[in-house]
Amino acid sequence: MSQGVTIWFTGLSGSGKSTIARILEKRLRQVGRKVEVLDGDVIRTNLSKGLGFSKEDRDINIKRIGFVCHLLTRNDVVAIASAISPYREVRNYNRSLIGNFVEVYAKCALDECVKRDVKGLYKKAMAGEIKGFTGVDDPYEEPLHPEVVCETDQETAEQSAERVWAKLIELGYLNL
């Protein structure tokens, strides 16, 4: 029997979290694992509609994602969360709640995130048109001890996914 685990991707907007998560999802399905991806943008549209971007609202949003991951994980599903989740305290709260938790830091230089930004959100934030944008005028607190650091401006998404895959094997969440 395969135990559940939450793989929690954190990083700036445009750092590659969702891309790596989808690669990992595909690989996990290929080996017969039950997988659910909780993407931050999708969750905001469905589960957290009406929340803004104040610290309190961001914390509520991330705790909601964490609660869903907790339910999935305890039912032997691999839950993959892909959300900026800028504050350490709430990520640590979710780690404590869930238990089987692998934090993946999609580390990417801000200038590279800006280059990748197809929606132009960074440009608007830097021009003062968007207030409270993580990494511009709102903080992003890097993880202190993530299980995996993916240098997404220095490696391909496939290389990053392989790094996460290897850690899941090392920690005993994948028995191949």
Catalytic residue ranges? 85
Dihedral, CA atoms, 120, 121, 123, 127, nearest 10 degrees? 140
Report yes or no: 6 and 74 within 8 Å, Cβ to Cβ: no
Burial 111-138 (b: 16+ CB within 10 A, else e): ebbbebbeeebbeebeeeebeebbbbeb
The DSSP bridge partners found for residue 174 are none
Which of 4, 3, 7, 144 shows the shortest CA–CA distance to 66?
Answer: 7
